[in-house]
Structure 1
């Protein structure tokens, strides 16, 4: 992998990880259009760590507060709104873990294709538009109870299907349940911390046991670029989502999905 390829792929990962536009749909483009080879396990670990550092860094105050409240609820039996939210984030993570363990091989064999990604990009983009248009936007993330959290967690599990978009699926579910757009985004971003941490740990373990080659320069670029681009993306998205809604991202998803289908049918 050249340093230019590392920069482009890390930029794509950082910009698309937290937007409701599907990172898998974008990461397939360099290989499909430019013929680039798979970036490899080590690079996957680097960009996962970069995006994880970005979301933890951006929500550092919230993370410290929620983690402290969560620990307090375990050891001191002190229950607060923050500890409740922390537990709901834990609950929302469980379905994706179970689904990932059960369906990982099936997804890799049968669903990780450009055709699936193109179709799911369009279908779930339309679903996001339909839900956002009808969303009541009445509550914030602290209204998450076990039913709401489990529902959003199931949406996150379904997002393991390539092209769906983890953030897109979880924001769609949260909006459907009456969350405001900003609250849906915040809950989705906070939910990403444990799932990215688990995914990064899994990939890291595979990397250690595989003995795959490591390009230090490419990995450094991958971490730095994914961190900066993801951090900036979170900041801008939270500023704009309340004012613009999800419609610009729906249009983008439809254009991307149709473009992918046109490219596939022409080859």
Structure 2
């Protein structure tokens, strides 16, 4: 089966391409680096010829509110139009746990808009909602640093390894369309402050972690359970401490 992975040269996309190829599928990595640009439409028609499934794990190069909204609306609109013309049978998209619970966040609002376009399309779909990736933890800590300390809100946190996200997305790609959503998360839930204290200690990072009810998560204040999945979520296998050990090795 031919499966085109939009964003197929990135962190998640490259892992999805590798997994699907190992399963015997014709997995094609599509991105501007391979001549496929969903913003302009360049290369889309050619890439989607004979394609059964499209997996979209692309991401905006800018997280500025208007730019990220423009990216997901334009990219997804172009992609769905090209899929309809090519007769694609299944559209799979990667999104984020908690989007509907924090629409005031600019990035989450853009992902909501993306999901609405997918739902309105006639193409059968599956949306995989994942929690934050282990791999993003250093950048998140830097973004939350104020005067040399990492300020995080007192909320629950259940991050997941990119390998587990790729496994969930690959599974969705070869299964029947859900015409709905599935949530995936890491196997352990932490307080966000507890998680970052463990993480910084493992990195040998001397920054203090401050539990701050006014701390923002990329511009907005989340609720206690905004960032964790509901009951029935599929859990990854990789624990954070094991991922840290493997990454260090």
Fold match (TM-score > 0.5) = no
Of Structure 1 and Structure 2, which has the larger fraction of its residues in helix? 1
* TM-score where L is the length of structure 2: 0.25
Higher relative contact order structure (alpha carbons within 8 Å, sequence separation ≥ 6)? 1
Of Structure 1 and Structure 2, which has the larger fraction of its residues in strand? 2
* TM-score where L is the length of structure 1: 0.24
